[in-house]
Structure 1
Amino acid sequence: MTDVLVCVKRVPDTSGEVVLTADGGGVDGRYAGWTMSAHEECAVEIAAGIAGDTGGSVTVLTLGDEDSVEQLRSALAVGANDAVRIDATADDYGPADVAGAIAEVVRGREAGGEGYGVVLLGNDAADTGDHQVGIRLAHLLDRPVVAGAQEVMASGDRLEVRVGTPAGTEIYDLPVPAVLTVLEGGVEPRYPNISGRMKAKKAQVEVVEPGAAPQGSGRLGLRVLPPPESNVEMLGEGPAAAPRLVAVLREIGVVR
């Protein structure tokens, strides 16, 4: 039996225009709305698969204020069994702070006989681009870690983890307990049905207090890059454009 902890973060929806806060320290979600990242949606799906294959359970965790319960309930609606919220102001926490707070929860569960065999996180934060939390957490827990996981198969006390790379698929075999950061694209996250939403709405969310004051990220600020320049070339009109079209297709290697 492998119990899985999935760590998610309440982030602005960055699928549209990205607007920074007035101080440039983060992404403003007041107009875009809030969600969890696609990486974390896939992590929840992978967690459900591991727990289903091994007879374990899935706990979803976030660090944030009461508003972040919305993201916890989204995970509960698609298969997570329990939810934990670390009561804190997420903007005050840097990657090292977040990793420390999660490690504190994991160690506390282990002390109480409720260890998590696998801890899953998104590969990076959708709002700030931090790639550090999973690696730092693995170091604090003294566990092996694989970054960019896209498919995970559990068998006994071993995990087979597949990571897509430009050169092909890398396969890792590692023992449980372990930490994995998940990259979207390997699995298709499920979406909640009516019964799942109703169950999630009634579920209790455990609230824990962080044991240490945050040190902050040390981030100086974010900036939004200008959109790339684009050029449009008119090839002509009607049949007269055909020779130029063929030439362009040959230039870009579509035809020979």
Structure 2
Amino acid sequence: MNTLVCIKRVPAASSAVTLTDDAMGVDTRHVGYTTSPHEECAVEAAVQLVETHGGTAAVLTVGPEDALEQLRDALAMGVRSAVHVVADSDAFGPADVARAVADVVGARAGSDDAVDLVLLGNDAADTGDFQVGIRLAYRLGWPVVTGVRSFQVIESAEGGRVAALGDGPDGVEHFDVPLPAVLTVKEGGITPRYPSLPGRIKAKKAPVENVTPGFEPAGSGRVRLHLPPEQPSQVQILGEGADAAPALVDVLEQIGVVGR
């Protein structure tokens, strides 16, 4: 099993998000950077695959030179190797990112490093794009499952398969697809580990493969980003002690938790 995990350098917004004056991106003047939470779960899933099935786990990012920091973080978690497609991430739209990743996967085809599974975050934490995984799978001609909470690889004489679980409108959805495949991972079902001190030291010395895109990006075509209005919060005092029980039951019935 050779797994490739795609991550993105995003602003570490711990409070209200502020857009740039042109509304084309997140204002990063007063924040640091991190990896999207969905992608942290994808990295953890890749490391667990190596522990269970052997093989290798590599991490890839398409971004500026500073994105090396996020690659080092993934290496510290246990990923074996890293690929840095050095590019201006603001100039790359979802289709461009998918193309860059597909080029790396294609270059490894037929070798010992051939990719069996590509993991991505379900969407980026800064722009909310849900497109890269699907566009990548379309380029590769591989099956894709989005919004995956957890999954397992099933090996057999006929070839490997992936059994994945995700949230659907009517409950948990089950998917079974053959390898090679693309999965977009959603946080909640997989808990990322904290990098160990030896892992961080090793990650600082690990070599990173630098790749230059072989094409001019088309861009995202984005008109602007939009921040939804904040939802007001309300607190209602139902009562005190046992006197509050009838009012509590009424509330539970209104939200559909219990029925008469």
TM-score scaled by length of structure 1: 0.91
Match of 1:97 in 2: 96
Match of 1:223 in 2: 226
Match of 2:7 in 1: 8
SS in 2 for 1:253: helix
Match of 2:180 in 1: 177
Cα 1:19–1:154 shift into 2, 3 Å = same
Cα 1:246–1:31 shift into 2, 3 Å = same
Match of 1:27 in 2: 26
Cα 1:54–1:230 shift into 2, 3 Å = closer
**Distance apart, 1:31 and its partner CA:** 1.5
Deviations 1:103-145 (A, max 9, x none): 0111011155521000000001111110000000000000001
SS in 2 for 1:125: coil
SS in 2 for 1:215: coil
Is the Cα–Cα contact under 8 Å of residues 25 and 221 in structure 1 kept in the other structure?
A: yes
Which deviates the most, 7-16 or 120-129? 7-16
Letter in 1 for 2:28: G
Determine if the alignment matches structure 1 residue 202 to structure 2 residue 205: yes
**Gaps spanning 5+ residues in structure 2: where?**
none
Is the Cα–Cα contact under 8 Å of residues 238 and 248 in structure 2 kept in the other structure?
A: no
Match of 1:40 in 2: 39
CA distance in 1 between partners of 2:233 and 2:42 (Å): 36
CA distance in 2 between partners of 1:100 and 1:20 (Å): 27
Which deviates the most, 89-98 or 11-20? 11-20
**Gaps spanning 5+ residues in structure 1: where?**
none
CA distance in 1 between partners of 2:152 and 2:211 (Å): 31
Letter in 2 for 1:54: H
Determine if the alignment matches structure 1 residue 167 to structure 2 residue 166: no
Match of 1:139 in 2: 138
Deviations 1:37-94 (A, max 9, x none): 1110110111112222221101000001111011101100011000010010000011
**Distance apart, 1:30 and its partner CA:** 2.9
Match of 1:78 in 2: 77
SS in 1 for 2:68: helix
SS in 2 for 1:252: helix
Equivalent residue pairs, number: 251
**Distance apart, 1:228 and its partner CA:** 1.5
TM-score scaled by length of structure 2: 0.90
Letter in 2 for 1:36: T
Letter in 2 for 1:40: E
**Distance apart, 1:99 and its partner CA:** 0.4
SS in 1 for 2:109: helix
